[in-house]
Chain A
């Protein structure tokens, strides 16, 4: 309750005088649910709204200025491009929630991918290769976590050093200049292959059912009206059905021999990961403690939470998830080279988390933010490439050039960070 009455609550029922848990017992209607949402936005809690707006605006701009942007082929391609960054962004979200950062997450992904590829090349069975790769990812995470949580070195410094160390490990693993090819059809298929259209529909239906069930349970708990549940479920259903119907169209080139349609495997994989992680964060004691440490470390310590253990485990999970992202990266190009997880991977991942609404200062954020932010950051280069050379105002600009792409992605990140900083100013 701020001392200044907000114009967001003009009705007497919403005034400052409300007390006695009035909002808890009040039956909430569609109207109050909307005005709650408004006042939350006004108080600076923007959540993922900026990211959603950005997606809508970008799709509109690119859709209008390029003929190929809104095609089934590009849509699937775009989602496949986004997947790895999204998963690494979720990895980084784990430590961002603690107010820490992992600058080495990109190369953690690279090293993990290299371990996986090397073991497959050595004819290990896939499950064993995956197990070893996962172990490697967790060990890298634990190493970082140990230095941060037990020795108390700032994560920025530790992971800056690890950025070099892990890059070195990756170089040694793939032998400078070389690359490791991946022949395993399952690993290649994560990003390259698609589920059959029929099964895609089944998955879509299951997804919609799960979403409705979750919304309904949520409304039972917080008393939000059924009309709100219906609205959200309806929107989600339409979105899912549109996405799946586009993906189920044949998107192969005209003279291709085989049809290419259905949902790429990576989409349900990413969704499963986000659901599991969200569940861990929201419904388990571990998740609650993680958020508490991110919000106020001292309060968490006094509440008997083992802060060091939370830190350590967060970095370990960050490593594991980054490793999964690494497998996606490798799957997309069917090989691992010294640049896997390098270049701008890490920057895009951190950017994705922040653009999605996860705070750099800890304690604020959700896993789903990584998806929204990842989509924004994948849209920018994808769309710009397709827009290509144009002559606005008589000046020729190649929008597809790396220079323009970097500048645009950088500006988007800067914008997101300013929104984060400004909204923090407003809430505190």
Chain B
């Protein structure tokens, strides 16, 4: 954690008409670290992510990538920096197979035609490097995969591009116990490979299990941005989420918000 943040956003404000959704939000992602972004519904997690990924333009705010100030005009800029997002609704095409999904929009060509052999090979290598061991064939259609496998493919799609930061929006929300464990293991491995991982989750057990840091949001503000460990109490996080304050940590005057 002594490292400099790979991605740093400072003083982000965002309003939708009269509704001020984000208030001076600072957010940092460190390489090799899982940072969980937690907060109640409407706390501004998703809006923050969408500002970071260029889907919403932020009203104010500075963005630094690898220590250098960057301008984010749209999703393309973000992808070019090496920031990938895995959305809650996965964004996979069920009618296509794993390889086709992994390379969607960035197909490899040979003589102007799709280079299936090379894409298939790369897909297999990527999945193997993530120690994904549950897929029968990379030519399986996504419609034939389980929820956990789909999540895995979606995550693999994000890291296939040598990305430096991966944002995961509730990756375990719809999964069973075993599949959740699979995905959390994968999240941990991503960080161990040196990526900066952001995990948005409502499940405090998941958060405590894999996170190195927690950024708790409360009504559009960052209530706390702290390191945590497996010993961190669940109640501590729940309190941050529900009141924006727990013990000495959190917003000073939550009533004024």
Contacts and interface: CB of A to CB of B under 8 A. Distances in A.
B62 interface: no
Contact of B116 (A19, A221, A291, A295): A221
B105 A23 contact: no
B100 interface: yes
B147 to A, nearest CB: 10
Nearest to B90: A299
Given A283-B113, A285-B114, A305-B105, A1 B146 contact: yes
Interface string B128-148: 100001111111000111100
A8 to B, nearest CB: 13
Given A1-B144, A288-B107, A304-B79, A24 B92 contact: no
A294 interface: yes
Contacts of A289: 105
B246 interface: no
Contact of A299 (B93, B109, B135): B93
A89 B91 CA distance: 30
Contact of A305 (B96, B104, B127, B133): B104
Contact of A19 (B76, B87, B112, B135): B135
Contact of A21 (B76, B100, B116, B135): B135
A298 B85 CA distance: 14
A291 B144 contact: no
B107 A43 contact: no
Contacts of B106: 303-304
B144 A295 contact: no
B94 A295 contact: yes
B95 interface: yes
A357 to B, nearest CB: 13
B87 A18 contact: no
Interface residues of A, number: 34
Interface in B20-75: 75
B137 A23 contact: yes
B114 A1 contact: no
Contacts of B114: 283-285, 288
B124 interface: yes
Given A21-B137, A364-B95, 9 more contacts: A3-B146, A23-B137, A285-B109, A288-B114, A291-B100, A298-B91, A303-B104, A304-B79, A363-B94
Interface of B: 75-76, 79, 87, 89-96, 100-101, 104-107, 109, 112-114, 116-117, 120, 124, 127-128, 133-139, 143-146, 149
Enumerate the 6 nearest inter-chain pairs by beta-carbon distance, A residue then B residue, closest first: A303-B105, A295-B93, A295-B95, A363-B95, A23-B137, A299-B91
Interface of A: 1-3, 18-24, 43, 221-222, 283-285, 288-289, 291-292, 294-296, 298-300, 302-305, 363-364, 427-428
25 contacts: A1-B146, A1-B149, A19-B133, A20-B133, A21-B128, A24-B120, A24-B137, A283-B114, A284-B113, A285-B107, A288-B100, A288-B107, A288-B114, A289-B105, A292-B100, A292-B104, A295-B96, A299-B91, A300-B105, A302-B87, A302-B91, A304-B105, A305-B105, A363-B95, A427-B144
